[in-house]
């Protein structure tokens, strides 16, 4: 990409796509990185200009017929700087969709669903990246039989970037190994945050679905990941203790954010009526005590071949695409892609990472 007109020390005019900032402003480029520009905060009419993250920037270049745009990805008021993505030729903005899967307890099929659902979404033409956000477990890597020597920790240390740890998987899906680096996302310094946010802004253009396999249970990290996602999915089985644990997770989420719209998936059920009955029981309790109405987006029948697929490290969706399990997973994938996001809510990978930082800040 050719952008020779951007260099350190350059003073440059810009406008924004925000109705709150409709003037023409000037800033100075402090640093030019391969994936972002670091800029001096603008003093405008006696006030520091603190442009919100996610705002579009249009650069006003002299003697240039081409329009260049950026996106605000971070602000560092203490350092008197802010950062934007590398300016590119004007094009229609495209955002990925962040889907997170959580469970009240382990062993209910969360990671298996994350993998097979990602494969189903890929078959529908979606470019899918899975973030293994189960701290220290690396379950996705294991179940897909992938070798990932590098993970998010190496990115935070500055040893590599996000593209370096992105690992190709079956059917075009890709894995972003998190490992212990996931917990570090809750306490980033300015340099680490810029490394992460720039990398994720880069992934936004090559990813339609960003699938997050969270850890099981109700840890702080799990709750933050789930509430920051565009699509929040909770998986449970029909067993009473699994339903109670999932209800506990839902309760913890509702306490933090009453506006959440959780989506429920019933796994390992014997019949459709059993799934519907469990969903009805769950929703009655959630509606009465939590003022939430989780949406049932699918159920999956118990299939003994799932266990065999785990042992062989070959996803059932690939080995038995016409099995009831695969068909039901495909149905869930189609339902998810048919749902529209709320237009007035920030969405996408960059928005997700910024929500994490604000929530943990």
Q: What is the pLDDT of residue 1?
A: 40
Total domains present in the chain: 2
343 pLDDT tier (thresholds 50, 70, 90): low
231 with 333, same domain: the answer is yes
Q: What is the pLDDT of residue 338?
A: 87
78 with 117, same domain: the answer is no
The mean pLDDT value for 39-68 works out to 82
Last residue of a domain, one of 21, 55, 89: 89
101 with 56, same domain: the answer is no
Q: Which residues contact 226 (CB under 8 A, 6 or more apart)?
A: 100, 102, 214, 232, 253
Residue 6 lies in a domain: no
186, pLDDT greater than 70: no
185 with 111, same domain: the answer is yes
345 pLDDT tier (thresholds 50, 70, 90): low
2 pLDDT tier (thresholds 50, 70, 90): very low
Residue 194 lies in a domain: yes
Which helix or strand (DSSP H or E) is residue 269 part of? strand 263-269
206 with 292, same domain: the answer is yes
pTM of the model: 0.78
The mean pLDDT value for 238-256 works out to 95
93 pLDDT tier (thresholds 50, 70, 90): low
Q: What is the pLDDT of residue 34?
A: 86
Cα–Cα dist 214/237, whole Å: 17
Residues 230 and 96 sit within 8 Å (Cβ to Cβ): no
Residue 271 lies in a domain: yes
74 with 111, same domain: the answer is no
Last residue of a domain, one of 50, 70, 89: 89
Residue 195 lies in a domain: yes
Residue 355 lies in a domain: yes
Residue 208 lies in a domain: yes
Q: How far separated are the first and last CA of the chain, in Å rounded?
A: 35
247 with 222, same domain: the answer is yes
46 with 116, same domain: the answer is no
Residue 314 lies in a domain: yes
The mean pLDDT value for 249-265 works out to 93
67, pLDDT greater than 90: no
CATH number reported for the structural domain that contains residue 264 in this entry: 3.40.50.300
222 with 273, same domain: the answer is yes
361, pLDDT greater than 60: no
82 with 168, same domain: the answer is no
Residue 70's domain spans which residues? 11-89
Q: What is the pLDDT of residue 297?
A: 96
Least confident of 35-49, 174-188, 295-309: 174-188
78 with 168, same domain: the answer is no
181 with 290, same domain: the answer is yes
Phi-psi region of 272 (alpha: psi -120 to 50; beta: other; left: phi over 0): alpha
Last residue of a domain, one of 89, 109, 125: 89
Residue 75 lies in a domain: yes
Is the model more confident about 267 or about 181? 267
């Amino acid at each position: 990409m050719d952008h020779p007109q951007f260099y350190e020390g350059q003073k440059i005019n810009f406008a924004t796509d925000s109705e709150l900032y409709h003037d023409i402003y000037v800033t100075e480029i402090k640093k030019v990185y391969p994936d972002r520009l670091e800029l001096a905060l603008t003093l405008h009419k006696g006030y520091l200009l603190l442009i919100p993250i996610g705002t579009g920037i249009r650069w006003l270049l002299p003697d240039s017929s081409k329009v260049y745009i950026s996106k605000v990805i971070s602000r560092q008021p203490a350092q008197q700087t802010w950062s934007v993505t590398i300016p590119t030729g004007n094009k229609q903005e495209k955002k990925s969709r962040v889907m997170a899967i959580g469970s009240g307890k382990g062993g209910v099929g969360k990671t298996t669903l994350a993998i097979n659902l990602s494969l189903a979404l890929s078959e529908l033409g979606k470019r899918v990246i899975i973030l293994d956000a189960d701290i220290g477990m690396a379950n996705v890597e294991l179940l897909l039989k992938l070798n990932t020597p590098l993970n998010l920790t190496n990115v935070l240390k500055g040893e590599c970037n996000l593209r370096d740890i992105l690992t190709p998987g079956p059917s075009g899906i890709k894995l972003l190994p998190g490992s212990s680096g996931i917990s570090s996302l809750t306490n980033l310094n300015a340099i680490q945050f810029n490394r992460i946010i720039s990398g994720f802004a880069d992934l936004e253009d090559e990813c339609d679905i960003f699938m997050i396999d969270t850890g099981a249970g109700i840890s702080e990290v799990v709750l933050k990941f789930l509430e920051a996602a565009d699509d929040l999915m909770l998986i449970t089985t029909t067993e009473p203790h699994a339903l109670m644990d999932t209800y506990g997770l839902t309760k913890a989420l509702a306490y933090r954010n009453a506006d959440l719209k959780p989506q429920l998936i019933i796994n390992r059920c014997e019949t459709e009526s059993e799934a519907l009955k469990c969903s009805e029981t769950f929703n009655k309790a959630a509606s009465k005590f939590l003022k939430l109405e989780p949406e049932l987006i699918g159920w999956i029948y118990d299939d003994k071949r799932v266990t065999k697929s785990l042992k062989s490290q070959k996803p059932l969706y690939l080995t038995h695409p016409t099995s009831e399990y695969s068909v039901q997973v495909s149905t869930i994938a189609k339902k998810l892609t048919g749902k529209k996001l709320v237009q007035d809510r920030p969405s996408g990978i960059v928005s997700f990472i910024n929500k994490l930082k604000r929530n943990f800040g």
